[in-house]
Amino acid sequence: MRQVKQVNADIVTISELWSGVYLLWAKAPEIAALARPGQYVMVRCGDGRDMPLRRPLSVHRISVDNRVAFLFAVVGRGTEWLAQRREGDSLDLFGPLGNGFEIRPSSRNLLLVAGGIGIAPLAALAEQAVTTGRSVTLLIGDRTSSRIYPDHLLPSGIKPVIATEDGSLGAKGMATDLLPRFIPGADQVYACGPLSMYRRMAEMSSQLGGKPVQVLLEAVLGCGVGACLSCTVETKDGQKLVCKDGPVFQMSEIVWDKVVAPTTREVLLKRRNRSL
């Protein structure tokens, strides 16, 4: 049975990488010992009374000295509260949760595709792959150069291939535009990004050459344990829960025309209704 812990983790460092996006390192040996790339934790924000539901954070990095990193964007009250924490503050974490990425034993060359802040769960995967002797190609795309994840924060040995929509850094266009160039050399493909990126990749299935693709889905996660049913997604095998069956899925199993990206208002309404 998978182990899950509720722990108090002290913040080691927190910094704003670019406008509204923060990198937080916390001392969390219990989480570090159990977490796998693609899993997440639920963090309590505030005192739990004004924001009774925890917020999900992907495991971004895991260090050898029992620290865990989280990369997050400020999108509401919970993450705004989190961005205001300082070194030495304590966080109430519950996890690790969900099913993470899987690397086939025979796979030697991995292709990772990060759209925007989608680098959050992929950095840990890249580090795991490199430490087990695999080759990693990382494609990163975003609107402009100021929103590209800094090279020096990536795991050792990882040099990203960059695309920006305005052409200010790397190739002009989307990360998915780079796929045809790198697909032939990949054994497995992993992706994290907005729903539009996944839909584009699904439309490119013939260009992907039958390569297995794992994607990490984002959804409204009310509980993290499959109780509230707020994160149901339609698959070819019926409805599944992002929090429990995912957040990582095979791209081919998702019914993409039935997946809807929730607006901020819908997220807040669902959270409010389930906290009454």
Average pLDDT, the chain: 91
190-216 burial string, b = 16+ CB within 10 Å, else e? bbbbebebbbbbbeeeeebeebbbbbb
d(CA 72, CA 78): 11
Paired tokens of 231: 């994160």
Token code pair at residue 1: 């049975």
Residue 258 CB: number of other CB atoms within 10 A?
10
- pLDDT digit string, tens, across residues 184-196: 999 999 999 999 9
Domains of the chain: 5-97 (2.40.30.10), 109-258 (3.40.50.80)
Look at 268 and 128; give whichever has higher pLDDT.
128
Helices (H) and strands (E) in the chain, counts: 6, 16
Give residue-wise pLDDT tens across range 72-103.
999 989 999 999 999 999 999 999 999 999 99
Rounded to whole angstroms, the Cα distance separating 163 from 180 reads 14
The residues, ordered by sequence, that sit 6+ positions from 151 with a Cβ below 8 Å of its Cβ are: 159, 160
Q: Which residue has the higher pLDDT, 274 or 88?
A: 88
In Å, how far are 82, 95, 199, 229, 270 from 112, measured between CA atoms?
28, 24, 16, 29, 32
pLDDT at 270 over 50: no
Distances (CA, A) of 66 to 32, 81, 93: 5, 24, 14
Which residue's structure tokens are 């792959």?
129
Q: Supply 108's token pair.
A: 């030697």
Whether the pLDDT of residue 241 is over 50: the answer is yes
Q: Say which range, 110-114, 226-230, 265-269, has the weakest mean pLDDT.
A: 265-269
Confidence of residue 265 (pLDDT cuts 50, 70, 90): very low
pLDDT of the residue at 269: 44
